[in-house]
Amino acid sequence: GENVEQHPSTLSVQEGDSAVIKCTYSDSASNYFPWYKQELGKRPQLIIDIRSNVGEKKDQRIAVTLNKTAKHFSLHITETQPEDSAVYFCAAKGFGYSTLTFGKGTMLLVSP
């Protein structure tokens, strides 16, 4: 089955800096890669996603890049703010599979 590795496990940045979280996946047939933000005790919220036919997608301060050859994808957050502090999960879904495989998560802390 699919295996998703996520790094780093924790990331501390100063407000205004950029943050990058990286994930790798094992199944070359995977074609959907969402990113979730989860605040303590709350549900994961989809913040951005990318499909395998696209190399990059941007939504305001958030962007995701995908390298299918290397089987890795990354989340980029620019101009970080304290409210960006949360746990971020990447996930991958294979073609024909119905489940998402999640990375272990990255705890992002943005200091004022």
**Residues found near other proteins in the complex (CB under 8 A):** 32, 34, 41-46, 49, 87, 89, 93, 98-105, 107
- List b or e across 60-86, with b for residues whose CB sees 16 or more CB atoms inside 10 angstroms: eebbbbbeeeeebbbbbbeebeeebbb
Token match 């959907």: residue?
A: 32
80 versus 105: smaller Cβ distance to other proteins: 105
Report the nearest approach of other proteins to the CB of residue 89 (Å): 6
74 versus 101: smaller Cβ distance to other proteins: 101
